[in-house]
Amino acid sequence: MLASASPRRLQLLERVGLTPDLLNPSDIDEIPHKRETPRALSIRLARGKAERALEMPLVRAEGPNAFVLAADTVVGLGRRVLPKAETVDEARDCLSLLSGRSHWVYSTVHLIAPGNKVSSRCVETKVRFKRLSREDIDSYIASGEWRGKAGGYAIQGRAEAFVRMLTGSYSAVVGLPLYETVHLLEGAGYPVFHSWMTAPQSEV
């Protein structure tokens, strides 16, 4: 079960042959606590989403053998948490701050497995943007891809053209660190590779 409404996270799971039996988004307050670092925020929100999902009727109906997976991605500039941009002004502020600089993306995956076994990983990825011109920012804002995205950009779209360097996990920046996700599921006893063998073959 995936505790997320993000189509990007679902697509990432499907890319590695995993299709959740249930999609059950869990809404929690995502406002950072005072002096909370971007990394700590990512860890807290992923855990909170998983724990909230576990209480929901649809998840309870799955029984004691449910695997509940949640994730959260936060963009940080130093100790500063950049918002999930919802307005043009927020997006412009984010892009202006990221222009010509390196920032960190913290993507946490949190798993609650049968028997209430809990495991999680926070993946840190360093991303450096080129220096953005006014035209870069204006045209990206016009695309609308920034809306609701941490840091005001979606790396899997036009903003990938802004990235000079990425050190870490590309899938984590998109929203779900695939290596760590598969590792946690496998370690908790989820039949990851059985899913690969039984899934329809895809064309590469």
Residues identified as active-site: 72
Residue 176 CA to residue 183 CA, distance in Å, equals 13
- Residue 119's Cβ-count burial label (10 Å; 0-12, 13-18, 19+) is middle
Q: Looking at residue 101, what DSSP letter applies?
A: S
Distance CA 118, CA 111 (A): 6
Cα dihedral 53, 25, 201, 171 sign: negative
- Separation in Å, CA 61 to CA 3, 27, 64, 191: 15, 19, 9, 21
Q: 80-113: b or e for each residue (b if 16 or more CB lie within 10 Å)?
A: ebbbbbeeeebbbebbebbeeeebbbbbbbbbbb
